Amino acid sequence: MKLFTFVAFLAVLVIVVSAWTKEDHEIFDLVTALEASEGKGTTFYSWLDVPSTATLVQINKAYRKKSIQLHPDKNPGVKDIHETFARLGVIATILKDTEGRKRYDFFYKNGVPKWRGSGYYYARFRPGLGTVLVFLTILTSGLQYLVQTLNYKRDLRRVELAIRDARLAAWGPKMEPLQGKRKVKVNLGGGPRQNEDGDIIAGKMLDMVVEQDNVFILDPSGSLHLLDTSSATPAAISRTWFIELLISSIRKFRYSKENEVDNEQSAPTVDRPDSPASGTAMHSGASEGEEPRQAGYVAAVKAGGRRRKATRKR
C-alpha cells in the first residue's frame, strides 16, 4: 500500500511538473526579474498600480501611463532602463491576452512554484558536459557513501547481536561473566524453519568461544578470531568509486614510471668506436702491448674472413 502511494505521488509530481509550458516559464522569469528589480512581493498588477480585477481598458490606461514614466528618452543614464521598459511591454501583453492573463492569475493566486521543472533550469543555466559529469560523480559517490553507511550500521547490529547471543549461551540468562573459555553455538540464520521436504532445520549455526568479555569466532582449523565492533567496515570516502579509480590510476602511473627508470638503469652501455674510451691502440687494431699506429694509417678491416693490412693514407 505504501509503495502504491509513493508511486502515485511521483506520478502526480511528474504530471504537475511536465504541465509547465513555455508561456509559464516566461511568467516565472518575469516574476523573478520584477521582484529582483522592484522588491519582493511585487506583482504585475501592483507594478501597474491596478487591481487584480482591472478591466482591459484600465490595464491599457495604466500601461500608457507607466510607459511614459519609464521611457528611456525620459530617463537618460538610468541603469537598466531599457530592460525595465521592455519588461513593462511584455507584462502588459500578457495581461491584455485572455489566455496569458488566465495563466498569470493562476500563479498570482497560488504562488509561483519553487520547483519549475528540470527543463526550465537547464534552459537557463545550460550546464556544460564538465559540469554534468562533476554533478553525476558527486551524486553517485554520495549515494555510494550512503549505502556504505547503511551497510555499516546493519553489520554493526549483526555483530552486537552475535556477541550478545554468544554471551547469553555461555553465561546464561543472568549474563554474569564466568571464568575460562566456553565454546558455544550461535544461530546466525534466524529461527528453525521447514524445508521443501517438510523437515525442520535450524538456522545457520556458528561456533564461537567466549572468554571473559571477549568473544571469538572458531573456524574449522581451530583458530580464534576476535569478534568486536571493529569487525564491521565503516563508511569511507576513500572507498567510493571515483576516489578508488583516482588512487588506482595514480598507482599505475607511478608503477610505470618506476619501471621506466629501472629499465634505463639496467640497460647495457655500448662503447662507440670513436669514443675516447675505446683508446687509440684498439682503434688502430693493435693488440695489448703493441705500439699504437701513427695517425696516417687506416685500421685493418675484416672482410671475407680475412684481415686486410692497414694502408697508409696518401
Q: Which pLDDT tens digit goes with each residue over 220-236?
A: 888 999 999 888 899 99
Would strands 224-226 and 214-218 be described as parallel, antiparallel, or unpaired? Answer: antiparallel
Whether residue 183 has pLDDT greater than 50: yes
Residue 131: the pLDDT is 82
Ramachandran region, residue 85 (left: φ > 0; alpha: ψ -120 to 50; beta: rest): alpha
Q: Are residues 7 and 101 in the same domain?
A: yes
Domain count, the chain: 2
CATH of residue 99: 1.10.287.110
Tell me the pLDDT band of 271, cut-offs 50, 70 and 90: low
- In angstroms, how far is CA 296 from the centroid of its own chain? 75
Residue 287: the pLDDT is 47
Q: Is residue 292 part of a domain?
A: no
Q: Is residue 60 part of a domain?
A: yes
Q: Is residue 255 part of a domain?
A: no
Compare 154 and 291 and report the one with higher pLDDT: 154
Count other C-beta atoms under 10 Å from residue 109's C-beta.
8
Work out the mean pLDDT of the chain and round it to a whole number: 80
Q: Are residues 101 and 19 in the same domain?
A: yes
Arithmetic mean of pLDDT, 254-260 = 86
Q: Are residues 23 and 74 in the same domain?
A: yes
Q: Is residue 151 part of a domain?
A: yes
Whether residue 7 has pLDDT greater than 50: no
Share of the chain above pLDDT 70, in %: 71
Q: Is residue 264 part of a domain?
A: no
CB 298 within 8 A of CB 311: yes
DSSP 304: T
CA 311/CA 299 separation, integer angstroms: 8
Residue 285: the pLDDT is 45
Whether residue 132 has pLDDT greater than 90: no
Q: Are residues 17 and 115 in the same domain?
A: yes
Tell me the pLDDT band of 269, cut-offs 50, 70 and 90: low
Arithmetic mean of pLDDT, 203-212 = 86
Count other C-beta atoms under 10 Å from residue 212's C-beta.
10
CA 54/CA 62 separation, integer angstroms: 10
Q: Is residue 249 part of a domain?
A: no
Compare 252 and 302 and report the one with higher pLDDT: 252
CB 37 within 8 A of CB 80: yes
Whether residue 4 has pLDDT greater than 60: no
Q: Which three cell numbers stand for residue 8?
A: 502515485
Tell me the pLDDT band of 195, cut-offs 50, 70 and 90: low
Whether residue 12 has pLDDT greater than 50: no
Task: Name the least confident of 65-69, 139-143, 217-221.
Answer: 217-221
Q: Is residue 19 part of a domain?
A: yes
Q: Are residues 95 and 154 in the same domain?
A: no
- The one-letter code for the residue type at 222 is G
Residue 261: the pLDDT is 81
Residue 267: the pLDDT is 65
Arithmetic mean of pLDDT, 260-265 = 79
CB 218 within 8 A of CB 209: yes
What range defines the domain where residue 160 resides?
A: 145-192+201-231
Arithmetic mean of pLDDT, 67-76 = 92
Under DSSP, is residue 303 helix (H, G, I), strand (E, B) or coil?
strand
